[in-house]
Amino acid sequence: MDSQGEVTSLLTAWGRGDQNALNQLMPLVYNELHRMARRAWSGLDQGNTLQPTALIHEVYLKLAGSENASYQNRCHFLAVASTAMRQILVNHARSRHTVKRGSGKIALSLDDVQPAVHQEAAEVVALHEALERLQAIDARKSRVVEMRYFGGLSIEETAQALGVSVITVNRDWRLARSWLIREMKGEGA
């Protein structure tokens, strides 16, 4: 079976509730995310203008192929890939966050020599943890945040992937954001 066929059947199996299919799918998604990102932004691919928010769509087209792309599978894929994007970032941020930044010395410089991902490590970890608490209260809202924030999906794409209306996603998004910001502030203070 070619890799496109493999991904398609794994997605279909996962859609039927086969958890094992997800385990086989994840490494393929990880690999392709890495490969695509390096190709897009390391300057090897002349004239590429891929936006980070379009990354998982490109990965889907690559993995599933346009012919095999069923609507259902695509929705499942966007969910899997958003989770993968979250894991990648959180794992890295956690390893960074252990090295505590700032020791009371004042250096309010605009151009810190740290990459953005290191500067935001504490926030990423805090968001991830707050999101886990939100999941216990309202699973759909935590999915919305995961897809929007970590996956980079638009409101419309998120609505499609979750099979709910745009109005619902808008509402979920707004309440979830307020809730998360409050949680994260409460923690940091």
Binding site for other proteins (CB under 8 A): 33-34, 36-38, 40-53, 55, 85-86, 88-89, 92, 104, 106-117, 119-120, 122-124, 126-127, 137-138, 149-152, 171, 174-175, 177-182, 184-185, 187-189
- Tell me if 134 sits within 8 A of 145, measured CB to CB: yes
Smallest distance from other proteins to CB 132, Å: 15
The CA distance from 118 to 20, in Å, is 34
Q: What's the farthest any 2 CA atoms get from each other in the chain? A: 59
Smallest distance from other proteins to CB 78, Å: 13
Q: Residue 18 or 112: which CB sits closer to other proteins?
A: 112
Helices H / strands E in the chain, number of each = 9, 0
Q: What does DSSP assign to residue 54?
A: G
Q: Residue 1 or 110: which CB sits closer to other proteins?
A: 110
Residue in the structure block whose two tokens are 């980079």: 152
Smallest distance from other proteins to CB 73, Å: 22
- Tell me if 179 sits within 8 A of 134, measured CB to CB: yes
**What's the distance, CA 151 to chain centroid?**
3
Q: What does DSSP assign to residue 113?
A: S
Smallest distance from other proteins to CB 15, Å: 24
Smallest distance from other proteins to CB 120, Å: 6
Smallest distance from other proteins to CB 155, Å: 14
User: What is the torsion angle, in degrees rounded to the nearest 10, for the CA atoms of residue 148, residue 154, residue 155 and residue 160?
Assistant: -100
Burial of 68 (0-12, 13-18, 19+ CB in 10 A): middle
